Amino acid sequence: MLALKAQADAEKRKAPPDGDCPATLPRLSASTYGMNTTMNCCAVFGTLRSLERLEYVKKVFDATNGGRVTYKGPELRQDDKAVLLELIHQRRNMFAGEIEFAPSKLFARMGWSRNSESSERLRKCLERLTEGTLRLDKTTTSGAMFHLLSDFKWDGDRWTAALHDEVTNLFPTRHYTYLNIDTRKQLTTGLQTWLYDYISSNDCKMVMTYAALREACGRPDEDPKQFVDYVRAALSRLVAAGAIVKFELAKCGHSKKRGVLVTKKHGKQLKSTTA
């Protein structure tokens, strides 16, 4: 009882003054991540594999669900998203605030190796999430601009990162998607995780063309034939991980553009076409 009271008192000390940040992060189970649907349907967290990362002055990402994200800062990829998902999960059903953690515990949660390379990778992810500025257009007449992290500190095995108060804008009522943590951890960070998040955010009743997927995941200049091979390999891994039931090659209506038709598992999903 004393330990629980001490924990509650600590939360109160960290809490913002009444009225400053009334919104909380979503109610998620211990086995489930949550992410804004528009963020899952565009390349703001891209899948490029080059060692060098771009610096965006103003990059607009149009999502396939009709939403739009504008980003300024260092290029974000799927490893940055993995870190953000885990930090949000640790603050689930609470106000956005500070998380104290040991890097090794985050590695275990995300399926990363426990070594110095992962520590450096994590530090760079947290730096990018702190530096970048995001503008999320919810509708044609409303939106929000904010940082994802407000600060980040590290000292030996004691690290702290603070989710910015405005991160709650990623979770308007019923406009986000649930992602299974164990399933996501079985996938390679990159195109596999991007496809899992994207498929989870869509009903998959229509053929997904390779051209649309190439644009949506941030690889518009990649060789089309090579991209098809990458998508098929990634989807095969999603089937093996139990993320989807099956996929089949298909053509899209009168355009005859090549693509895939995915059969999903029925599960808990919240999605939006506008936010």
Task: Give 10-residue mean pLDDT values along the chain (275 residues).
Answer: 41 43 78 94 94 94 92 97 96 90 93 94 97 84 87 94 91 84 95 98 92 95 95 97 94 83 70 34
Architecture of domain 186-264: Orthogonal Bundle (1.10)
Cβ–Cβ contacts within 10 Å for residue 208, how many? 23
pLDDT score, position 36: 93
pLDDT score, position 143: 79
pLDDT score, position 258: 92
pLDDT score, position 158: 94
Q: Can you tell me the distance from the alpha carbon of 32 to that of 24, in angstroms, rounded to the nearest whole number?
A: 17
Q: Do the Cβ atoms of 201 and 41 come closer than 8 Å?
A: yes
Extents of the domains making up the chain: 10-176, 186-264
* 175: CB partners within 8 A, 6+ apart: 36, 37, 138, 270, 271, 272, 274, 275
Q: Can you tell me the distance from the alpha carbon of 161 to that of 270, in angstroms, rounded to the nearest whole number?
A: 27
- Residue 154 to residues 114, 125, 126, 197: CA-CA distances in angstroms? 17, 13, 10, 30
Question: Is domain 10-176 in CATH 1.10.10.10, yes or no?
Answer: yes
Phi, psi of 189 (to 5 degrees): -65, 120
Two domains, one topology: 10-176 and 186-264: yes
